[in-house]
Amino acid sequence: MSLPKIDPSLTLNWKALEAHAAEMSDFNLKTEFIQNPSRAKTFSLEWDGMFLDYSKNWINDKTKSLLLGLLEEVKLGEAIEAQFSGDIINETEGRAVLHTALRSDSEEPIVVDGKNIAPEIEAVKLKIQKFTDQIISGQSTGYTGKAFTDVVNIGIGGSDLGPAMVVDALGFYRNHLTMHFISNVDGDHVFETIKGLDPETTLFIIVSKTFTTQETLTNATTVRQWFLNSAPEAAVSKHFVAVSTNIEKVTGFGIEVDNIFPMNDWVGGRFSLWSAVGLSIALAVGYEHFQSLLEGAGAMDKHFRTASFENNMPVILACLSTWYINFHDVQTEGVIPYSQYLNQFATYLQQAVMESNGKYIGRHGKAVTYRTSSVVWGEPGTNSQHAFFQLLHQGTTLIPCDFIGFKESLYQNQEHQDKLMANFFAQTEALMVGKTKEQVLTNTSDTGDLNQDIAPFKVFEGNRPTNTLLLDKLSPRSLGQLIALYEHKIFVQGVVWNIYSYDQFGVELGKQLASSVLSDFENLNISSHDASTAQLMERYKR
Ligand code: F6P
């Protein structure tokens, strides 16, 4: 079954939401909380160590019911089943979308092209487990017999962002191996990373689903050359492994079949950290923790697939985001984790969200008439409070934000944790309640030498919407839940917007032009380019 092709803007609920947004124009969160003492409870959800409070949003019961009605009209239920059952829902690339199969503990066969893929998934997981155990324990060594100390992941996009984010996020659970990530074709990035490394004790993982990506192949070639400056050719097999769907290209590159960790085309690059692309994660934290990460995501998959839409966390997050993007003209959304470990979470989400849903052609092959993906961005709190929060509080743009925090810290320092979480709660409260001119004028900390002219600058309108996600503790399992939560949110929005979330043709044009510019550098041929580009190329090559 393919995904339903329904223009959401023609549905009854979409039209009702438009009218409802207009009738909500003077909606005020502070007033709503005063009028409805059970608002916080009504608009909250708890599931498996995660608590979502979405009461600080511009919604009431009617909003929620219209949004849920929209999901029925676009047949979200059918779409979810189509995805989990391995239907070819990535129609433009002719592929199933089954990153969920990688973390499933179901005994049910998962069939792709008439074949149950479960045994193959298990075989790759076993290979990862065996390999990582041997490297971590020092049983497998480098070519001179020394244990490995460093691992370098060479990949870009989904072959870098997911593993890099998770390795960073799980820093607390890491072992002795030092992890490095080379992604940019910028040679300075490459040489800066390898300059202190010892070829005798460094393992390189070349990660590329297609094994055709210019950046990754260039970086891998450079790194291998650097390695061979001191090591014999025969040592390559002990130090270089690859993760790819393209076995032929990998062997052509000089990597032995035994050193290839296969992946499949039913896993999209930006959803691939659960596959062998997560090899660097398993090396960094050990296989057991990698397995817990998968289990957390698997649990979220079950929740997403089975919970009613009104009690379904990814669905609720998707509804809220869609409400703002399509009915309040929101263009950007923030994700603010109150954990330094999640430093790279927003960067990771940028690819997951924007490469998936940054599209203007609908599933019916025509341009859509409404907004699709917002711009997603963010940085950890409290650092971001001292950077861009001024704009969140007093700027002219409406930016709904997700705040993500953990009840328990990992090093158990309660003083720090209380201060961190005090900021976490204070910010969403401040964004909502704001501060009136009367409060400014009567507040002793503001008054001092304050005169009436200065008061407006200290007024906060408030009424700025946020979601709060409160998790028990950052662990491999809860991180798996969190990532899968956002993955499913992306899927739901793609279904609503009637777009194909799992292709990425938008990155192709730039890639093609880069190859043509590169070959024109070589032939010194600039005349085929526009005058501006030709002028710049000429200055560069002069
Ligand atoms: O930039 C586009 C993209 O195709 C991403 O979707 C993907 O994650 C990345 O390039 C890397 O691709 P590969 O793993 O095939 O090298």
Q: Is 100 in the pocket of ligand 1 (CB under 6 A)?
A: no
Active site residue 355: yes
**374-419 pLDDT tens trace:** 999 999 999 999 999 999 999 999 999 999 999 999 999 999 999 9
Output the pLDDT for position 209: 95
Query: What is the token pair recorded at 259?
Result: 């050193």
Q: Is 272 in the pocket of ligand 1 (CB under 6 A)?
A: no
Q: Where are the beta strands (DSSP E) in 427-496?
A: 466-473
**8-54 pLDDT tens trace:** 999 999 999 999 999 999 999 999 999 999 999 999 999 999 999 99
Residue with tokens 């009840």: 407
Query: What is the token pair recorded at 187?
Result: 């040679």
CATH architecture type of domain 8-74+307-503: 3-Layer(aba) Sandwich (3.40)
Residue 157 Cα, ligand 1 centroid: separation in angstroms?
A: 5
Residue nearest to atom 8 of ligand 1 (CA): 158
> pLDDT category, 541, cuts 50, 70, 90?
confident
Q: Which atom of ligand 1 is nearest to the CA of 216?
A: 16
Which of 273, 275, 244 shows the shortest CA–CA distance to 260?
A: 244
Residue nearest to atom 5 of ligand 1 (CA): 157
β-strand pairing of 401-408 with 466-473: parallel
Out of 176, 195, 248, 386, the active site residue is 386
CB-based burial label for 108 (10 Å; 0-12, 13-18, 19+): exposed
Phi-psi region of 310 (alpha: psi -120 to 50; beta: other; left: phi over 0): alpha
Residue 256 Cα, ligand 1 centroid: separation in angstroms?
A: 23
Task: Please determine, for residue 505, whether its predicted confidence score (pLDDT) is greater than 70.
Answer: yes
Out of 355, 359, 379, 487, the active site residue is 355
Phi, psi (degrees; rounded to nearest 5) at 286: 90, 155
- Predicted structure pTM score: 0.97
Residue 27 Cα, ligand 1 centroid: separation in angstroms?
A: 43
CATH code 3.40.50.10490 region(s) in the chain? 8-74+307-503, 111-290
- In this predicted structure, which of 250-259, 305-314, 400-409 has the lowest mean pLDDT? 250-259
Out of 408, 511, 538, 541, the active site residue is 511
Q: Is 156 in the pocket of ligand 1 (CB under 6 A)?
A: yes
Active site residue 386: yes
Task: Please determine, for residue 447, whether its predicted confidence score (pLDDT) is greater than 80.
Answer: no
Output the pLDDT for position 515: 85
Which of 432, 458, 430, 393 shows the shortest CA–CA distance to 30?
A: 432
Please state which of the four CATH numbers 3.40.50.1820, 3.40.50.10490, 1.10.150.390, 3.20.20.60 is assigned to the domain occupying 111-290. 3.40.50.10490
Residue nearest to atom 6 of ligand 1 (CA): 269
Active site residue 303: no
